[in-house]
Amino acid sequence: MNNEVYTKEQLYSMGPQRTFNNDAREAAFLLGGIGTGNISVGARGELRDWEIFNSPGKGNYLPYTFFAIRAEKEGEKPVAKVLESEIQPPYSKSHGFLSGEMAGLPRLRSSRMRGEYPFVWVDFEDSTLPVDVSMEAFTPFIPLNSNDSGIPGAIIRYKVKNTSDKPVKVSVIGSLANAVGHRGFALFGNLQANPQSLNEYRDEDGVRGLYYYTDLEESSLEYGSMCLMTRDSSVTYKTYWLSGGWCDGIHDLWDDFCDDGLLEKESVYEGVKSEMGESNLKVGSMGMYETLEPDQERVFEFIISWFLPNRIKAWDTDSCCCAAGGCETVKNYYATLFDDAWHAGRYLLENLDRLEGKSRDFHRALFGSTLPDYVIDAIASNITVCRSTTCFRIEDGTFLGWEGTFDQRGCCEGSCTHVWNYAQTLAFLFPDLEQSMRKVEFNLETDENGKMSFRTRRVFGKEPWDFLPATDGQMGTIIRLYREWKISGDDELIKTVWEKASKALDFAFEYWDSDGDFVLDSQQHNTYDIEFYGPNSLTNSMFFAALKAGAEIADYLGDEQHAAKYREALEKGSKRMDELLWGGEYYIQMIDDVNKYRYQYGKGCLSDQILGQLLAHVAGLGYILPEEHVRRAVKSIFDYNFRTSFRDHHNVQRTYVLNDEKGLLLCSWPKGGRPKLPFVYADEVWTGIEYHVAAHLIYEGFVDEGLTIVRAVRERHDGYRRNPWNEVECGHHYARSMASWALLTALSGFKYDMVEGTMSFKPAINSDDFKTFWSTGKGWGIYTQKKDPETGEIVWDIEVLYGSLEGVSVNE
Amino acid sequence: MNNEVYTKEQLYSMGPQRTFNNDAREAAFLLGGIGTGNISVGARGELRDWEIFNSPGKGNYLPYTFFAIRAEKEGEKPVAKVLESEIQPPYSKSHGFLSGEMAGLPRLRSSRMRGEYPFVWVDFEDSTLPVDVSMEAFTPFIPLNSNDSGIPGAIIRYKVKNTSDKPVKVSVIGSLANAVGHRGFALFGNLQANPQSLNEYRDEDGVRGLYYYTDLEESSLEYGSMCLMTRDSSVTYKTYWLSGGWCDGIHDLWDDFCDDGLLEKESVYEGVKSEMGESNLKVGSMGMYETLEPDQERVFEFIISWFLPNRIKAWDTDSCCCAAGGCETVKNYYATLFDDAWHAGRYLLENLDRLEGKSRDFHRALFGSTLPDYVIDAIASNITVCRSTTCFRIEDGTFLGWEGTFDQRGCCEGSCTHVWNYAQTLAFLFPDLEQSMRKVEFNLETDENGKMSFRTRRVFGKEPWDFLPATDGQMGTIIRLYREWKISGDDELIKTVWEKASKALDFAFEYWDSDGDFVLDSQQHNTYDIEFYGPNSLTNSMFFAALKAGAEIADYLGDEQHAAKYREALEKGSKRMDELLWGGEYYIQMIDDVNKYRYQYGKGCLSDQILGQLLAHVAGLGYILPEEHVRRAVKSIFDYNFRTSFRDHHNVQRTYVLNDEKGLLLCSWPKGGRPKLPFVYADEVWTGIEYHVAAHLIYEGFVDEGLTIVRAVRERHDGYRRNPWNEVECGHHYARSMASWALLTALSGFKYDMVEGTMSFKPAINSDDFKTFWSTGKGWGIYTQKKDPETGEIVWDIEVLYGSLEGVSVNE
């Protein structure tokens, strides 16, 4: 490495995961399943960002929704606090903190949060309490089991330990606003509660809690239910807070709780009301209590579940049919699994041992690996994308994705092929969901001429997206088809889509190769939202990888004509492109006058220049360009595009990295020739591209360089600058960031072919004492290899934690 | 004082004003005149919160609007930077920073901001520049001259000094987006520019600059103009940035600027466009340049002016008549003074010596006083309220105020009497504007029975606000009428309104005094948005001060009947209330069962308990309750309601003060008797109340206690937690915070009677070496008194900086 940005120790550290202080305001850890929406846990242990209402909702808060503890040490004054650490500045909102935020109630003094997806822990400190308190929360996450990873609910536990020398009477309660059917927030931040919402206390089959429902029609977009439940038996509850005006409900609840830690089932107060301030909001509380002896520890376990079954049958309200009485709706997939929130919650509680056990297996396999800690963080944290509101599932099970989200709505619809190209996570963890995307792309969105709409609308029965086809996106779907086939060993998949997939590949010959030399050169729309003109290695490397994938599939299916066509094109095209575009250190774009068209890159060093090669590596396709040039190119990308400071970088485009931060530019012009108006985004930094370049560097043996990029990305996501569980680009939880999973395949040298039934590992680091998570469509678990200190031989072992390895040979 | 919160040194410090580092993200200093809207300067020297479009707009940004410097030291590489210090975390927006924010351009390394209303300074530091740079900005502010304090524009200057040993070629440019007629922001944060907007470069009569206009109808709500101007002659400009798509305009502009510091008048680039990304936005730039010799200093002066003449003829769009083709409009008062933004800008530039000179006189008088620094800060910073979007003026000159504002709209309409009661600033600085409020209250909003609508709607020709009358609000208008009369010496005022004013006062006898004992006791709606029942000292102290004021006015006008009636009521009522409510340490509320009605306070110690007495002091009415009890009560308020930490305070209402902060509660129950549901707001802290209690403590001789409260308030507004120039309550720039002006009258012991022609000072601190600002309706200036070290005698002097003291005797 030329310039040592980090020490070896920093690059290869295997310490514990980072923790976040209570002032790390940006840190927000997502709870919730695939396609269910989310609640997040903030660094203070607070619940934030209620995104369960079939829409992104950063900043959404539920008034009066919180947990609280009351601890009464024998002979002393009881202490009651909201179970969050203290609110941190700024305190600058136009109306202070709203009553519903309860910022004026005592909180615990400080806290430290640690998130290891799918688990999050918050350790509180507070010297005024006679007990220690910590929080744990998660939603079950089990690779290969998309149903059990798609439960609309979360487990929230408070572990309380008596640290005093006397018995302590402890109560922990949760309060939850009934937000079923609500219509956003009115002036003054009041939740516009649905007057038809109702609360009920239930106790059945060892499960008890508050059930919130509504008497709206089941078909109503606003229909649904929510629950606060427990398996605990020492329960105290209040189904409805005192109704009245202003803050009557919380006033009464808090006084009641502080009084003895138990809740009156019903609140009555007859004082004459004032002339202002009524509210429809219904809130309930439920909690548990126990007297703890000195040193005794006790877990207070809650679950929150929700059921908002109906979403609009469209990407957004702009494109749904609102003329005749509102939008058409479609069910969420999870609504085909559960009848209501109580059902979902009961399922969670009744199956918790299994669900939690497998989730812990996954966590142990991934976080127990011998990869550098921040690499595990990069891999794990971006799993959240597929359980964020960027993604959802409709009733037939189809998995759909935005590119990312605005705070309050999705951003860039249609499972955009050229963005999702970069994502690897879903393919390795939930192959069935990733496959559903291929089926949409080929069988719904590819027309008879092979032109693929790169954003799906037909999935909702709408007119197709009417725009240019995307060269990189369309070629990527072929590579990904190959990957899905090899991960799953599922012939059915390729058989189902091959007719259209081959048309989509054939389309490139007709549409983008103007002179028949197997090098694409026409107007090529791509992921930079502009069109490249003339030969360039981004779209062509995608083309070549697609050709190789296509040839292999065609071979397998006995489609000899296509196989031969693709092989010839790959051979000739790859050679010709290398001749045309190799610039000595990296590939360039061939264009006579780089300023004739706006937004080209010409002689620039493009970070994406051989994306197709990286995708080929991950899919197991091998080299599609001369290995030597590939190695040199990827090294040049690092050398020229990685920056250790952005203070002297002039970027007038969007800005994702700034000041003293480090990152990898999308492009640079080390040898001059920068166009007057280079492609938009050229001066930006995208984590999705950083990860694939990092993985590629590792694949080519430049491990230090690859790790350097990853460390830089994670440093930028430190909880103060940005959320560690939310890498944004054109939206929150941006799909491209799921490129980080390629770090796992690269560092473990993981190869898989479930069609052939083979699997192998070749660690790029720590090969003498290596441990990693692995997964295919057949199973997942832990791979270990160690050097025998006596013989010097490498001894390996594989543990299957889910599924099976039947019929699969390893390292042979 | 019981508990010494601050040292004497802290309380009596007369150091320089605080400065704010570039990471003080909450600090935002308002530019703009009375009723013109604002632009704010942030702690990084950035322009933020564009609130010039007839609406509050916290967070409004104008894309591509910034200043920049290019400095080229002889023989070295030029350096070009945006004239702001570096952007500070968080960097967590859904789409990174938008192109229009230009977060990716180099900025100066650090900065320190200091604001002394109406002036703000930002000193930059950056070792890569061969020059020192600082910024100064202000909008002229001249007490007693509301027109010249109401110019829609601001002066922005950059002082550049060559700190190198070689000549440095310096260019400073400003860029401004044409936002005339814009319609907010679309997805992706793009300004929805009005396609009818046009840019023009003008050079006339020694003034030159960019004039932005539109060919919309003059009557259109969106009609208007904006300017970027200068008196400088070495001008370089680009009327229109390159149009195209994406970031073409800024790309071209920045490259052009970096190239040689001069701008091409026209940008031409013919490259084929892409298929996406067009924009209507028109941006222009203008700058100045000069080569500076070593040590040479040069000021680059810009002005920004605006003219958005038409506002809706209603408080907000909800209440305007939208049925027939949009809202009716009314002109802003400033639009009667100027024809367009160019006119306003030219007026500013052509009269700048006078306008700036008088503004500096005011600044010198206030900030040069011998009051503690943080007290001056409290007094000065809340002047901003009357130049914020909380206030505006309509065509006939009437001054109107919200209570405060939401981020994007006004909050609580109608110049609410019970909130504006507390404000003193406007009355002492712009008596004509304050008088216009009295005229509305009495002559428009008081009906024949004397019932006053405490929110004006009739001013827009609407139906009156249909609600209970507000006891405190209505009584307060009488006290304030007296104050306006004594400040101005204007008989015309009292003659114009007395008929209705006396009805408004008579109304209290009929409506609120159920048993005729001259102590109000019926359902009394008040500033806590609820109703008190039974005798209480808040509304009654207001009543008694109003009676005293009314009696004096009636006397003067020869209305003997009223004078006698009011005198009798005052004498008997005051005595009776004292008997009924004096609790030994403070006044309480008399109510049999405090829980019979919601939201009472009973035996609580109310911070507002003798608000009427404080208002009487400021207005010069003297005592209306037994002096001894008044002194004791105000001391009890401090003793019981001031908190040095809020960690153990349980407040379920709105929260303005929390954790380790200090502040004064609205109420406490030191002797028990807290109602089950005390009045809403009881557990809150409002700066407007803190200030009046602080002033009252000082009036009664408890100077340390008063100063303690003020220091606590200002500590909470430290630029990190809250904006020093924005004290919020139910909205930003809350009118009640203008109570802080009473600190000036209290500390200087200022008495005035322009009817009698007398004025006097009796400093509560530093009386041996005292200096203060003073103002009446006749003039303003500096009062000084010093102890002669030889004779021990106090020698005083008075300087008139505006208006005259003709016919006024001082200290006699």
pTM above 0.95, yes or no: yes
In the chain, the amino acid numbered B226 is M
Q: Which residues of A609-622 are buried (b: 16+ CB within 10 A; e: fewer)?
A: bbbbbbbbbbbbbe
What residues of chain B, 544 to 583, have a C-beta less than 8 Å from chain A? none
Residue bearing tokens 């204007």? B490
Q: Are A38 and A30 in contact (CB under 8 A)?
A: yes
- In this structure, the number of other CB atoms found within 10 A of the CB of residue A599 comes to 26
A357: Cβ–Cβ under 8 A, 6 or more apart, which residues? Answer: none
ipTM field: 0.96
B600 falls in which pLDDT band (50, 70, 90)? very high
B645 contacts on A by Cβ (under 8 Å): none
Chain A nearest CA to B246, separation (Å): 7
Chain A nearest CA to B284, separation (Å): 16
Q: Are A730 and A780 in contact (CB under 8 A)?
A: no
Rg (chain A; Cα; Å): 28
Phi-psi bin for A795: left (phi > 0), alpha (psi -120 to 50), beta?
beta
In the chain, the amino acid numbered A314 is A
pLDDT at A319 (0 to 100): 66
Partner A contacted by B185 (CB < 8 A): no
Query: What CA–CA distance (Å, rounded) separates A249 from A35?
Result: 33
B275 falls in which pLDDT band (50, 70, 90)? confident
Query: What CA–CA distance (Å, rounded) separates B414 from B403?
Result: 8
In this complex, the residue of A95, A248, A274 whose CB is nearest that of residue B531 is A274
B648 contacts on A by Cβ (under 8 Å): 106
pLDDT at A190 (0 to 100): 86
B469 contacts on A by Cβ (under 8 Å): none
Check CB contact under 8 Å for B654 and A251.
no
pLDDT in tens, B397-424: 999 999 999 999 999 999 999 999 999 9
A647 contacts on B by Cβ (under 8 Å): 86, 106
Phi-psi bin for B809: left (phi > 0), alpha (psi -120 to 50), beta?
beta
User: Please, is B522 exposed, middle or buried when counting C-beta atoms within 10 Å of its C-beta (0-12, 13-18, 19+)?
Assistant: middle
The tally of CA atoms less than 13 A away on the side-chain side of residue A685 is 31
Rg (chain B; Cα; Å): 28
Q: Give me the helices (H) in A519-592, please.
A: 537-557, 560-581
What residues of chain B, 26 to 55, have a C-beta less than 8 Å from chain A? 26
Which parts of chain A register pLDDT below 70?
A: 1-3, 277, 319-325
Query: What CA–CA distance (Å, rounded) separates A115 from A41?
Result: 10
Which segments of B474-554 are extended strands (E)?
524-525, 531-532
In the chain, the amino acid numbered B468 is L
Q: Give me the helices (H) in B627-754, please.
A: 627-641, 687-699, 703-716, 741-748
pLDDT(B452) > 60? yes
Two structure tokens written together for B403: 């209570």
The tally of CA atoms less than 13 A away on the side-chain side of residue B348 is 33
Chain A nearest CA to B297, separation (Å): 26
B80 contacts on A by Cβ (under 8 Å): 650
What residue of B is the nearest CA neighbor of A721?
A: B90
Check CB contact under 8 Å for B103 and A658.
yes
Check CB contact under 8 Å for A722 and B92.
yes
pLDDT at A754 (0 to 100): 98
User: Please, is A797 exposed, middle or buried when counting C-beta atoms within 10 Å of its C-beta (0-12, 13-18, 19+)?
Assistant: exposed
Q: Is the dihedral of CA B590, B596, B597, B602 positive or negative?
A: positive
Partner A contacted by B730 (CB < 8 A): yes
Looking at residue B72, what DSSP letter applies?
E
SS3 B646: coil
A99 contacts on B by Cβ (under 8 Å): 652-654
In this complex, the residue of B89, B405, B530 whose CB is nearest that of residue A94 is B405
Closest-CA residue to B286 (of B267, B264, B307):
B264
Chain B nearest CA to A76, separation (Å): 16
pLDDT at A325 (0 to 100): 62
Task: Tell me which of B194 and A355 has the higher pLDDT.
Answer: A355
Check CB contact under 8 Å for B650 and A404.
no
In this complex, the residue of A90, A531, A731 whose CB is nearest that of residue B722 is A90
Check CB contact under 8 Å for A94 and B404.
yes
pLDDT at B3 (0 to 100): 57
Chain B nearest CA to A410, separation (Å): 11
pLDDT at A1 (0 to 100): 47
Q: Are B402 and B410 in contact (CB under 8 A)?
A: yes
Query: What CA–CA distance (Å, rounded) separates B499 from B516?
Result: 23
Q: Give me the helices (H) in A644-702, please.
A: 687-699
A530 contacts on B by Cβ (under 8 Å): 246, 274-277
Query: What CA–CA distance (Å, rounded) separates A114 from A18?
Result: 7
Q: Give me the helices (H) in B382-490, please.
A: 417-420, 425-429, 431-439, 471-488
Which of the residue ranges A689-693, B317-321, B511-515 would you say has the lowest mean pLDDT? B317-321
In this complex, the residue of B248, B647, B728 whose CB is nearest that of residue A95 is B728
Q: Are B736 and B729 in contact (CB under 8 A)?
A: yes
Query: What CA–CA distance (Å, rounded) separates A348 from A341?
Result: 10
B716 contacts on A by Cβ (under 8 Å): 91
Two structure tokens written together for A557: 């299916």
Partner B contacted by A404 (CB < 8 A): yes
A77: Cβ–Cβ under 8 A, 6 or more apart, which residues? Answer: none
In this complex, the residue of A96, A244, A653 whose CB is nearest that of residue B656 is A96
Partner A contacted by B256 (CB < 8 A): no
Query: What CA–CA distance (Å, rounded) separates A358 from A5?
Result: 39
pLDDT(B1) > 70? no
What residue of A is the nearest CA neighbor of B675?
A: A271
pLDDT at B233 (0 to 100): 94
Check CB contact under 8 Å for B658 and A103.
yes
Q: For chain B, give the number of residues.
A: 812
What residues of chain B, 478 to 507, have a C-beta less than 8 Å from chain A? none
B792: Cβ–Cβ under 8 A, 6 or more apart, which residues? Answer: none
Looking at residue A247, what DSSP letter applies?
T
B227: Cβ–Cβ under 8 A, 6 or more apart, which residues? Answer: B153, B209, B210, B211, B212, B303, B304, B305, B306, B341, B342, B344, B345
- Hey, of A25, A91, A188, which one would you mutate to test binding to chain B, going by the most B CBs within 10 A of its CB? A91
Partner A contacted by B654 (CB < 8 A): yes
User: Please, is B264 exposed, middle or buried when counting C-beta atoms within 10 Å of its C-beta (0-12, 13-18, 19+)?
Assistant: middle
pLDDT at A637 (0 to 100): 98
| Count of CB pairs separated by less than 8 Å, A with B | 263
pLDDT mean across residues, chain B? 96
- Hey, of A643, A652, A660, which one would you mutate to test binding to chain B, going by the most B CBs within 10 A of its CB? A652
B269 contacts on A by Cβ (under 8 Å): 595, 676-677
Chain B nearest CA to A253, separation (Å): 10
B245 contacts on A by Cβ (under 8 Å): 598
Tell me the average pLDDT across B756-764: 98
SS3 A428: helix
Which segments of B480-575 are extended strands (E)?
524-525, 531-532
Task: Tell me which of A178 and B274 has the higher pLDDT.
Answer: A178
In this complex, the residue of A529, A680, A728 whose CB is nearest that of residue B95 is A728
Chain A nearest CA to B532, separation (Å): 9
Check CB contact under 8 Å for B269 and A676.
yes
Q: Are A602 and A583 in contact (CB under 8 A)?
A: no
Closest-CA residue to B734 (of B380, B384, B394):
B384
